[in-house]
Structure 1
Amino acid sequence: MRVNYLGPVCMGIEHPALDGYDLTRFGLSCFLVEVSAEAGVAGSLIEGDLLVVDEQKPAQHDDLVIVEVEGEQRLFSSLRVGGRLRLIPTAGPRESIWARQAQLRGVVVRQARRYMV
């Protein structure tokens, strides 16, 4: 699924999903992305969720990773196969792809959701 880049965490970005979060605990290598509408409103990730992504953390087995594919930043689940990384889409067609290190933008380290009352 697509994600929309919002900027580095250190910029103090304001978003309703971040109420109560202490963003100072994240390093300078972290940035925020927002999950796009194609995520829908059911499941572990929904439209509007914010993800904190660490661009220096190495991708491991079963991580959520941000990858640049065809000019878009997309969210995948990683599958470590030996020394290689296979990417499984989190939404849409389930055709997996092999990743090159140059495509990886970072590993998701935190999820924030705005709850509707």
Structure 2
Amino acid sequence: MRVNYLGPLCGGISHPALEGYDLTYFTPSCYLVEVSDEAGVEGPVIEGDVLVVDESRVAQHADLVVVEREGLRLFNSHRIGGQIRLIPPMDRSGSFPARQSDIRGVVVRQARRYGL
């Protein structure tokens, strides 16, 4: 699922999905992405959701992670020992092995734009 980079998370950023959030809670290593329309409107992550991504966190089992693969994309991580397998959140086929260095960040917060 494709995500669009919105920029670093800082006190001056403005987005409708972030109203009511205390942005000082997040570390300087966080940035924002918005889920593209290819996500559809069913499931735990839908189009228009804004995700706070921490690029300093190490991916663990069952994390949502952002990976640069033909643009920025969202995957579920499946960790087995020291190895990570990335699984597309919508279409479970097409998983692939990855290294921690392939991951651009771990999703730490999800905000829904219109409160759906």
Identify whether the pair has TM-score above 0.5, normalized to the shorter chain.
Answer: yes
**TM-score, normalized by length of structure 2?**
0.93
Q: CA RMSD in A?
A: 1.5
Q: Which runs of 5+ in 2 are unaligned?
A: none
**TM-score, normalized by length of structure 1?**
0.92
Q: CA deviation at 1:31?
A: 0.3
Q: CA deviation at 1:58?
A: 0.4
Q: CA deviation at 1:88?
A: 0.4
CA distance in 2 between partners of 1:29 and 1:67 (Å): 16
Between the aligned residues of both structures, percent identity stands at 66
The aligned counterpart of 2:94 is 95
Contact 1:12/1:23 (CA < 8 Å) preserved in 2? no
The aligned counterpart of 1:23 is 23
Letter in 1 for 2:32: L
Instruction: Say how many residue pairs are matched.
Output: 116
Q: Which runs of 4+ in 1 moved over 4 A?
A: none
Q: Which runs of 5+ in 1 are unaligned?
A: none
Instruction: Write out aligned runs for 1:1-117 (5 A).
Output: 1-10=1-10, 12-70=12-70, 72-92=71-91, 94-115=93-114
CA distance in 2 between partners of 1:84 and 1:116 (Å): 36
Listed one character per residue, the Cα deviations across residues 16-37 of structure 1 (whole Å, up to 9, x for unaligned) are: 1111111111010000000000
